[in-house]
Structure 1
């Protein structure tokens, strides 16, 4: 078998480009490792905030609100205020 034929056979198994598949899987694995490391870093920051006396639940809520569009936040706050007044709060 020629060298080119062997390369094609190694990289194409059952109609699947094995080298390409391996590359994709390895990239996903690296990103999964990075995501875990980032998650650990975020947990550490929340622990730091808690030890500094901040309320972590409120910090999480602030982060969630900051991700929203300003108009959506305003609508939510308006409804929340309306519901509180309706309940006498």
Structure 2
């Protein structure tokens, strides 16, 4: 159910990192690592599965919106996720 804006203190703008701000030029990242980076965490930070699920809700749309600025690499093995990096 919608909530009135007046119930919240401050409402900063919804501002996300650009791919260039978030990713290192010479590195490739899994969606899980991108999810952590979007929250200011280290790519290998240990988090609970429930938290990771929530972070993925942010990361997947971010990847889709920024797809023109990214490249994708297929998984190297069947049990590995794909990787994303900055487009050259």
Q: TM-score range by the shorter chain?
A: under 0.3
Which structure has the larger Rg? 1
Which structure shows the bigger proportion of residues in strand conformation?
A: 2
Which structure shows the bigger proportion of residues in helix conformation?
A: 1
- More RCO (CA 8 Å, sep 6+): 2
